[in-house]
Amino acid sequence: MKKTIRKILTFLSVYYAHMVEYRAELILWVLAGALPIILMGVWIQAAEDGQFGLTPVDFARYFLTVFVVRQISVVWVIWEFEKEVVEGKLSSRLLQPIDPVWHHVASHLSERVARIPFAFLLVGLFFLLYPQAFWLPSLRQFLLFGLAVVLAFILRFTIQYTFALFAFWTERASALENFWMLFYLFLSGLIAPLDVFPEQVRTVVMFTPFPYLIDFPASLLVGLPVDVGRGFLSIMGWILLFLGANRLLWRAGLKRYSGMGA
């Protein structure tokens, strides 16, 4: 156990040092995820002029939480893995006594540690500029949000890593992510809270993995009505489904891998 923990800490420290080298770029990456803040202004204005069931303050808190969720759950593994397969760099990692995915996991977790301080600085600046949106979630809300956002990251990573494995068959596996992103933007709660969607649309969307990537954890922290039990069961179910598909694609893909791309 101690040996395993030592390896984990070594992995994380190495990738953290690597990420800190790009701390100037990290600021730009944090700002690049500021779309929810932009949309916040649009929906606050719309709430003042229309009937949406949510107040301007509710929209402000929701989109601020979406910004935080995005900072924690952002994933880029498909582009890294695609490059490794196409350029044959995966070969060296296959010789190591560890699944290559753990390199990507360590990279993502270390980047979170380096990124979050900048994100919270922006959150603090937001509350200074818009103090009426400040609120203190209950301990239950905070704990449920913490669990939900961690599971959302795991689900997002598992989905994208599953798509990445198609790099064994095509040189542009990232095209799958670009196509997926079209649905992700509109159905995850990034563009608008699902509470403002027509009920029929919302019912159908809840059977997809999209709401559990952003809307579900954000709603938990803000205090919007949500089915907590169904939400967590759905996240776990989608994680297991994509994890199973991932392992099948991994085994099939390795049979095609030639050391110089698929």
Measure the CA–CA gap between 101 and 77, rounded to whole angstroms: 9
Q: What is the pLDDT of residue 16?
A: 67
Identify the band that residue 8 occupies on the pLDDT scale cut at 50, 70 and 90: confident
Measure the CA–CA gap between 195 and 112, rounded to whole angstroms: 29
Mean of the pLDDT values across residues 221-238? 94
Identify the band that residue 18 occupies on the pLDDT scale cut at 50, 70 and 90: low
73-77 long-range CB contacts below 8 Å, 24 or more apart? 73/149, 73/152, 73/153, 73/156, 73/213, 73/214, 74/29, 74/33, 74/156, 75/108, 75/153, 75/156, 75/157, 75/160, 76/108, 76/160, 77/104, 77/108, 77/157, 77/160, 77/161, 77/164
Contact of 122 with 70, CB cutoff 8 Å: no
Measure the CA–CA gap between 212 and 206, rounded to whole angstroms: 8
pLDDT in tens, 164-194: 999 999 888 899 999 999 999 899 999 989 9
Q: What is the pLDDT of residue 139?
A: 94
Mean of the pLDDT values across residues 188-206? 90
Identify the band that residue 262 occupies on the pLDDT scale cut at 50, 70 and 90: very low
pTM over 0.85: yes
Identify the band that residue 146 occupies on the pLDDT scale cut at 50, 70 and 90: very high
Give the CA dihedral 231, 232, 237, 240, nearest 10 degrees: 140
Q: What is the pLDDT of residue 195?
A: 87
Q: What is the pLDDT of residue 252?
A: 93
Q: What is the pLDDT of residue 260?
A: 53
Q: What is the pLDDT of residue 95?
A: 86
Mean pLDDT check: name the lowest of 33-42, 95-104, 113-122, 225-234. 33-42
Q: 3-state secondary structure string, 10-79?
A: HHHHHHHHHHHCCHHHHHHHHHHCCHHHHHHHHHHHHHHHCCCCCCHHHHHHHHHHHHHHHHHHCCCHHH
Contact of 133 with 127, CB cutoff 8 Å: yes
Dump the DSSP string for 185-244. HHHSSSSS-GGGS-HHHHHHHTTSSGGGTTHHHHHHHHT----HHHHHHHHHHHHHHHHH
**What burial letters (b/e) apply to 181-190, b meaning 16+ CB within 10 Å?**
eeebeebbbb
Q: What is the pLDDT of residue 129?
A: 85
Phi-psi region of 74 (alpha: psi -120 to 50; beta: other; left: phi over 0): beta
Q: What is the pLDDT of residue 150?
A: 96
* 15 has a pLDDT exceeding 80: no
Q: Where are the domains of the chain?
A: 2-256
| H-helix segments, 74-214 | 77-87, 90-94, 101-129, 139-164, 174-187, 199-205
* 50 has a pLDDT exceeding 50: yes
Q: What is the pLDDT of residue 229?
A: 94
Cβ neighbours of residue 196 under 8 Å, at least 6 residues apart?
Answer: 52, 53, 54
Q: What is the pLDDT of residue 26?
A: 64
pLDDT in tens, 89-144: 898 888 888 889 999 998 888 888 888 888 888 888 889 988 898 999 999 999 99
Mean pLDDT of the chain: 87
Mean pLDDT check: name the lowest of 43-52, 133-142, 210-219. 43-52
